[in-house]
Amino acid sequence: MKTVLKSVTQSQVWRSIFRHGLPLSNRTRAEAVLYSFFLHIHPAKVRKRSIKFTYTWGLGGLSAGLFVILVITGALLMLYYRPSVQQAYGDMKDLQFVVSSGQFLRNLHRWGAHAMVAIVFLHMLRVFYTGSYRPPKEFNWVVGVVLFVITILLSYTGYLLPWDQLAYWGISVGTNMVRAMPFGLGEKISFLLLGGNIVGENALVRFYVLHCFILPVFAVLLMGIHFWRVRKDGGV
Amino acid sequence: MEKSDDKKPMLPPEQSPSFSRRHFLELIGMGAIGVTTLGGMVLSAEYLSPNVVKEPPMRFKIGPPEYYPPGSVTLNKEQKVFIVRAKEGYFYALSAVCTHLGCIANWKAEEGIVACPCHGSKFDREGNVIAGPAPRPLPRFAMSLDDQGQLVVDKSIVVQEEVTLKV
């Protein structure tokens, strides 16, 4: 067994993927983090104080984890959901009652989304209460606030997609709030958001594209910056 | 003049004239990028705003006056309009879109009021606010009678309270 393991870990393929030895010494342990794409999200060295669980409560990591769950379940839901007035509600019901594991995936997406809004908000509170927005991290706080807004917008655009009464009136009310903006700006923005004057086919497709493509792209981009700066500032 | 310029030895950077050839080319390059970006943004902004929307028409027929008995309030769901016929027999068309945040209000016959299910605004049958967060009364739309004796509502024309249709 040991010889097999040894021959695997010393083969050219293994050594070309993992370019460091087994993490047996401090040096190789540091290398394991430095040379791994996935682990290099963490700094090679951290202060003991900042890895204390009750300092961060792992809320940032939980937010990111929920985002991954939402991307995976969302991509799977897209296979059965069609964003059209005729089909959207039926497709959503099919996911619940006809598609194997559809109910589970839909609920995972739905509850994950609710949880993400809550956790991102708690993460923001934690950062506030530990004063982690102070120099040199002011800009990362700003990036975080934008990410929080994107999270809310993702939640809101997803709200319309089931195309039920709650969704329809939720979006009607929300876009009417936008209309309250002064200087005729509200009318223009609401027209652009809905692709018309009423919540209809255009609005559904627009919210679908925002929900499934545009907002996630911006979220991933800003998350990259957010994590990179956290790491540079010595956080975990 | 030009020939003498050509023969000039190349100046070291710190002595080069403030508007050099490099500066000129940079300006052209950046300008081209700027114009292209701006043009792209304008075109994209125009693309986002649809020129044709397939929405219900603003002007529509709602049947002959006999459909609506005196003293009745009838909701046209598709057009989001109440057709109100007063006891005296005249007509007016009242918007069913709540002036608060745009939900469709319902006619409550037993109470004789128009009530919005979203945030509890209430209106009387004239469209005046009697309760709730609605900031304005429900607007009235122009009504007319066409050649075939059909009632016509035009939502693009908002009329004052005095304007009614006598049939």
**Nearest residue to A106 (alpha-carbon basis) of A67, A80, A68:** A80
Chain B positions touching A169 (Cβ under 8 A) are 103, 118
Residue A119, C-beta contacts closer than 8 angstroms, at least 6 positions apart = A59, A62, A63, A66
Parse chain B into domains and list their residue ranges. Answer: 2-48, 59-159
Q: State residue B1's pLDDT score.
A: 45
- Residue A59 and residue A122: Cα distance in Å, rounded? 7
Minimum mean pLDDT range among A44-48, A84-88, B46-50:
A44-48
State the average pLDDT over residues B68-76.
Answer: 89
Quick check: ipTM above 0.85? no
Question: How many C-beta neighbours within 10 Å does residue B133 have?
Answer: 14
Q: What is the pLDDT of residue A90?
A: 96
Residue B6 clears pLDDT 60, i.e. is over it: no
Walk across the sheet containing B106-108 and list its strands: B106-108, B113-115, B122-123, B129-131
pLDDT at B167 over 80: no
d(CA B1, CA B81): 81
pTM of the predicted model as reported, rounded to 2 decimal places: 0.83
Please state the rounded mean pLDDT for residues B133-139.
92
Q: What is the pLDDT of residues A71-92, one digit of tens each?
A: 999 999 999 999 999 999 999 9
Is A121 in the B-facing interface, judged by CB distances under 8 Å? Answer: no
- Percent of chain B's residues with pLDDT above 70: 90
Cβ of A176 within 8 Å of Cβ of B101? The answer is yes
Smallest Cα distance from B70 to chain A, Å: 32
pLDDT value, residue A226: 96
Nearest CA-CA distance, residue A166 and chain B, Å: 10
Q: Does domain B59-159 fall into CATH 2.40.10.10?
A: no
Distance (Å) from the alpha carbon of B150 to chain A's nearest alpha carbon: 26
Chain A touched by B50 (CB under 8 Å)? yes
Q: Is B159 left (phi over 0), alpha (psi -120 to 50) or beta?
A: beta
Q: Which residues pair with B59 in a beta bridge?
A: B154
Mean pLDDT over each residue of chain A, to the nearest integer = 91
Q: What is the mean pLDDT of residues B111-136?
A: 91
- What residues form DSSP beta bridges with B141? B93, B158
DSSP assignment string, A97-139: HTSTTHHHHHHHHHHHHHHHHHHHHHHHHHHHHTTTTSTT-HH
Query: pLDDT at position A24, please?
Result: 85
* Per-residue pLDDT at B25: 94
Q: For residue A196, which residues of chain B lie inside 8 Å, CB to CB? A: 50, 53, 55
B1 touches chain A (CB under 8 A): no
Q: Report whether pLDDT(A201) > 90.
A: yes
Which domains are seen in chain A, by residue range? 1-41 (no CATH), 58-232 (1.20.810.10)
Closest partner CB to B118 (pick from A173, A175, A195): A173
